[in-house]
């Protein structure tokens, strides 16, 4: 493993990791707005810059994209780095003065007056790209992207219209550091026509993307639990039964593995349509393990178990 030095401390770092990852693992704080462990390194916000030396003159690099190397010397809080971050924060504060995360950074770096370079007011989107990248890399929907250039650059759907690729998962709203993405779950939405209206039931609305989704209602408890469109899309992709998502997670009967009967054949794990079953070691043998937080209660594993080791919870008490 390569040995690097961060702020005078020698650290043995794993192969193929970045300076930011090593710093965080060792309790060394480096600010960032565009980084997320679930996404590929981006280096867009530039806040994570550090000063590095590797056999020559010190340079400034983004720590989230720079891989560790043997003999690398890193300084995360020099005056040069503080000045660079203050410039970046000043630009962010000028364009987006309202988000709390920007105000907190300005306070931390001693920026008490807002610059006046731009004329934009109350612009909460900071162009970090987290929502765009999450939609592309995690959800793989590619429903939103950047459009425009310079001061006019923004995140939007194609042609600023409702996107047919959006599945209403809410990942963009969850990952946004400034909470500018407006997602609302309406318990009883209505469609209005001249002189009349019609109730259409629970709806999820993503106002930023001009998109609405009807929400699936559990046939057991009657509670809405998830947008119907992505559930149906997943059901068709996996060739699942039409009633697969008729009940919510709370009402589904979760199977249980009887480890005394399980022979570790992996038939259940291979046939689980969403990968909720993995094998674990027990007394030097494999046993099936069902992850309850992932399991949808489809009971495919019950049907596929050749020795009857997987049973429904209702059956466990018989």
**Mean of pLDDT over the chain:** 87
Distance of CA 12 to the CA centre of its chain: 29
Beta-sheet strand order (sheet of 49-53): 9-12, 3-6, 73-75, 49-53, 59-62
Tell me whether strands 3-6 and 73-75 are parallel, antiparallel or unpaired.
parallel
Between these two residues, 291 and 26, which has the higher pLDDT value?
Answer: 26
Give mean pLDDT, residues 283-296: 81
List the domains of the chain with CATH numbers: 1-122 (3.10.20.740), 130-217 (3.30.70), 255-316 (3.30.70.20)
Asked whether the predicted pLDDT for residue 16 surpasses 50, the reply is yes
Least confident of 10-14, 173-177, 236-240: 236-240
The residue with tokens 């000063």 is 51
Question: What per-residue confidence (pLDDT) applies to 9?
Answer: 95
pTM for the model stands at 0.73
Indicate the SS3 state at residue 10. Answer: strand
Question: Residues near 159 by Cβ (< 8 Å), separated by ≥ 6?
Answer: none
Alpha carbons within 13 A on the beta-carbon side of 130:
23
Nearest to 291 by CA among 277, 310, 273: 277
* Distance (Å, whole) CA 184 – CA 170: 10
Query: 192 forms bridges with which residues in the sheet?
Result: 197
Question: What per-residue confidence (pLDDT) applies to 77?
Answer: 94
Question: What per-residue confidence (pLDDT) applies to 187?
Answer: 83
N-term to C-term CA, the chain: 55
- What the block records as the tokens of 45 is 């916000």
Asked whether the predicted pLDDT for residue 315 surpasses 50, the reply is no
* Distance (Å, whole) CA 279 – CA 282: 10
* Distance (Å, whole) CA 10 – CA 84: 25
* Distance (Å, whole) CA 274 – CA 293: 12
Indicate the SS3 state at residue 239. Answer: coil
Query: 219 forms bridges with which residues in the sheet?
Result: none
* Distance (Å, whole) CA 88 – CA 152: 18
- What the block records as the tokens of 48 is 């994570």
Nearest to 264 by CA among 280, 291, 287: 287
């Amino acid at each position: 493993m390569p040995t690097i030095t961060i702020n005078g401390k020698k650290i043995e770092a794993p192969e193929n990791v970045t300076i930011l990852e090593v710093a965080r693992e060792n309790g060394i704080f480096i600010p960032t707005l565009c980084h997320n462990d679930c996404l590929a390194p981006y280096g867009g916000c530039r806040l994570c810059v550090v000063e590095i030396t590797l056999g020559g003159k010190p340079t400034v690099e983004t720590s989230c994209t720079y891989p560790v190397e043997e003999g690398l010397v890193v300084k995360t809080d020099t005056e040069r780095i503080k000045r660079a971050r203050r410039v970046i924060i000043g630009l962010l504060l000028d364009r987006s003065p309202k988000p709390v995360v920007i105000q907190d950074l300005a306070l931390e770096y001693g920026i008490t007056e807002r610059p006046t370079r731009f004329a934009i007011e109350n612009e909460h989107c900071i162009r970090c790209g987290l929502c765009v990248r999450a939609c592309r890399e995690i959800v793989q929907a590619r429903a939103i992207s950047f459009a425009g250039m310079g001061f006019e650059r923004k995140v939007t759907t194609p042609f600023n219209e409702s996107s047919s690729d959006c599945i209403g998962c809410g990942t963009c709203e969850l990952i946004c550091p400034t909470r500018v993405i407006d997602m609302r779950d309406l318990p009883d939405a209505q469609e209005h026509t001249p002189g009349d209206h019609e109730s259409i039931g629970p709806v999820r609305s993503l106002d930023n993307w001009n998109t609405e989704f009807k929400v699936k209602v559990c046939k057991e408890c009657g509670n809405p639990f998830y947008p119907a469109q992505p559930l149906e899309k997943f059901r068709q992709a996996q060739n699942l039964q039409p009633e697969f998502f008729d009940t919510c997670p709370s009402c589904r009967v979760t199977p249980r593995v009887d480890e005394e009967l399980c022979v570790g054949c992996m038939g259940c794990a291979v046939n689980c349509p969403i990968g909720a079953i993995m094998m674990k070691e027990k007394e030097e043998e494999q046993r099936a393990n069902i992850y309850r937080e992932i399991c949808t209660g489809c009971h495919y594993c019950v049907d596929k178990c050749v020795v009857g080791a997987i049973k429904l919870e209702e059956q466990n008490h018989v």
